[in-house]
Amino acid sequence: MVDKKDSIWVLNGPNLNLLGLREPDIYGHETLDDIAEMLSERADALGLSIEMRQSNHEGHLIDWLHEAQGAGAKAVLLNAAAYTHTSIAIYDAILAITTPVIEVHLSNPETRESFRSVSWVGKAAHANISGLGAKSYLAALEAAASL
């Protein structure tokens, strides 16, 4: 059995429940379940466990960041989606915990609309991995494993 300290929490924000259907030319054809399966397989190989969650509600993401620290998570992979660019509350929540947070994005926000160039999550996160499609999550998991 894997220790709680060896868990990686993967928190996903608004509209990511629609992956595979929503703008596949930007976000790809993989669903969030596909990503969860891919992460679980890789986590097993690394001796880690995954706690995967998604919500369209900002407060849930904040509560889960706090909960991840309380549970002794090794790290959090956070795709805050559009909240990345708007949420000072998520920024504050990341700063309030000591658990490392790695910002994850399927697309590269820097190459998209100008409003996406501001990342409040990124200003507080330990690292940022974006632009690799679903593989952004795998790269973030590898980074978290090395912490």
Quote the strand ranges of 58-136, DSSP E: 75-79, 101-105, 127-130
Q: Is 126 a catalytic residue?
A: no
Task: Please tell me which residue in 66, 105, 126, 137 is annotated as part of the active site.
Answer: 105
Q: Is 91 a catalytic residue?
A: no
Task: Please tell me which residue in 27, 83, 91, 137 is annotated as part of the active site.
Answer: 27
What CA–CA distance (Å, rounded) separates 44 from 85?
32
Look-up of token digits 């609309």? 113
User: Per-residue DSSP letters for 54-94?
Assistant: E-S-HHHHHHHHHHHHHTT-SEEEEE-GGGGGT-HHHHHHH
Residue 86 corresponds to which tokens in the numbers above?
């708007």
User: Per-residue DSSP letters for 25-52?
Assistant: HHH-S--HHHHHHHHHHHHHHHT-EEEE
Catalytic residues: 27, 105
